[in-house]
Amino acid sequence: MDATGTPVSQTFIQKEGSYGARNYAPVPVVVDHAKDCLVWDVEGKEYIDMMSAYSSVSHGHLHPRIVAAAEAQLKKVAVMSRAYYSTTLGPLLEKLSEVTGFERALPMNTGAEAVETAIKCARRWGHRVKGIPDGMQRILVARGNFHGRTSTIVGFSSEQDYRSGFGPFCDGFQHFDYGGMESVKAAATEHTCAVLVEPIQGEAGVIVPPAGFFRDLREWCTQKDILLIDDEVQAGLGRTGRWFAFQHEGIRPDALILGKALGGGLLPVSAFCADDKVMQVFVPNSHGSTFGGNALAAAVALEGLKVLQEEGLVDQCAAKGEYLFRRLREVQAEVAPLIRDVRGRGLWIGVDIEPTCTTARDMVLRLAAAGVLSKETHETVIRFAPPLTITQDLMDRAVDIFRGVAVEKCRELGLRTRPAGA
Ligand SMILES: *Cc1c(COP(=O)(O)O)cnc(C)c1O
């Protein structure tokens, strides 16, 4: 409380509300500080972070090794642009090549910028290597996609809220049904240079594609000489229980887009990764970013990758994800009328709420009040994506709280619940 008896959090919420653009509708929790998987608000209330900034905080908040790497670099140099070389970018690019298996990487800052980089690369490759007349290149994208918020990218979103009033949009994208190979083939033309796709559609509601789709897509792209570009900004770097989600599919894309967790939970760092035969279309002056790959960002990203490797977080994620999935399925069985699906891979799970009961937003607000941070996507899906460092004890606590909230909701609605084990 402040002197007038108003909760301190209200003053911060009001300031953002009064002086900020209204482009977000945040959950009313004012975070003051955080450590690993726990977050505290300005009133000192503790929360379990089951959202990890849409997977940006996969290492946990303020991982000591990553903070130490940042502090060490802050005593040397942070930003000098790519006009010069640095002692951290080269080692980051080398490490990226080691973990992704791609020969080269182009560093940017946000995920959307790395997607833009992929689009430019695909188009230039389509023209210069594949021989498509410049300006005629076409990229296939999935319905329900999410690739960021630039005007080019929202132009091929299928989400009205993301697009409405923001036209005119960039030409050159054609849609297919996610998971439908026949739909991909029908959308393609002789001018198709690339397929840009998420391995799991996160914003669309944690949609896992049907088994075999990516294998068929890979085969078809190879046959047609079309680049398969895999947007793993959210799925990559261990989130699904493998380093990259494409590994579950037994394929290798032609290019990979990384972001979010690449910044080690501290900074925006993204990258577009590809082999030389694709990346070679970029020459001096063809593309760039003032902050992309700066010395501080590179030091942080490099340490973040080492932490993932050396702490075995990717393998842990697979086991922890199975555990969390099983526990959430148990809750589903208990409150069956309220939850119509639990789905996902690794520590990336969507709980789909029956829309005739309530909204995901309602459940997210109740969870926050009870000490668990999550986030809705669309009307019905609650996303759980905790840091990969989460312990079984914290997962149990979060699931117990979720169960309490769900049972209470059922009681309010007069729905029958079936106690676990009954
Ligand atoms: C978050 C996200 C992006 C955009 O990243 P920003 O850093 O918000 O620009 C792109 N693609 C996918 C799959 C994402 O989840």
Q: From first to last of its 422 residues, what are the pLDDT tens digits of the chain? A: 677 777 899 999 999 999 999 999 999 999 999 999 999 999 999 999 999 999 999 999 999 999 999 999 999 999 999 999 999 999 999 999 999 999 999 999 999 999 999 999 999 999 999 999 999 999 999 999 999 999 999 999 999 999 999 999 999 999 999 999 999 999 999 999 999 999 999 999 999 999 999 999 999 999 999 999 999 999 999 999 999 999 999 999 999 999 999 999 999 999 999 999 999 999 999 999 999 999 999 999 999 999 999 999 999 999 999 999 999 999 999 999 999 999 999 999 999 999 999 999 999 999 999 999 999 999 999 999 999 999 999 999 999 999 999 999 999 999 999 876 65
Sign of CA dihedral 252, 253, 259, 263: positive
> If you take atom 11 of ligand 1, which residue's CA is the nearest one?
147
Residues 6+ positions from 108 with CB-CB distance below 8 Å: 114, 116, 117, 270, 271, 272, 289, 292, 293
- 197 CA to middle of ligand 1, Å? 12
Question: From CA 247, how far away is CA 292, in angstroms rounded?
Answer: 27
Question: From CA 3, how far away is CA 26, in angstroms rounded?
Answer: 26
Which residue is catalytic, options 102, 146, 214, 282?
146
Residues 6+ positions from 4 with CB-CB distance below 8 Å: none
Which residues lie with the beta carbon below 6 Å from any ligand 1 atom? 54, 110-112, 115, 146-148, 198, 202, 231, 233-234, 259-260
> If you take atom 6 of ligand 1, which residue's CA is the nearest one?
111
Phi, psi (deg, nearest 5) at residue 310: -75, -25
| Number of other CB atoms surrounding residue 102 within 10 Å | 22
**Is the distance from CB of 239 to CB of 96 less than 8 angstroms?**
no
231 is catalytic: yes
- 99 CA to middle of ligand 1, Å? 20
- 232 CA to middle of ligand 1, Å? 9
- 335 CA to middle of ligand 1, Å? 33
Q: Which atom of ligand 1 is nearest the CA belonging to 202? A: 15
Name the nearest CA neighbour of 302 among 278, 267, 328. 267
| Number of other CB atoms surrounding residue 89 within 10 Å | 21
**Is the distance from CB of 387 to CB of 57 less than 8 angstroms?**
yes
49 is catalytic: no
Q: With a threshold of 0.85, does the pTM exceed it? A: yes
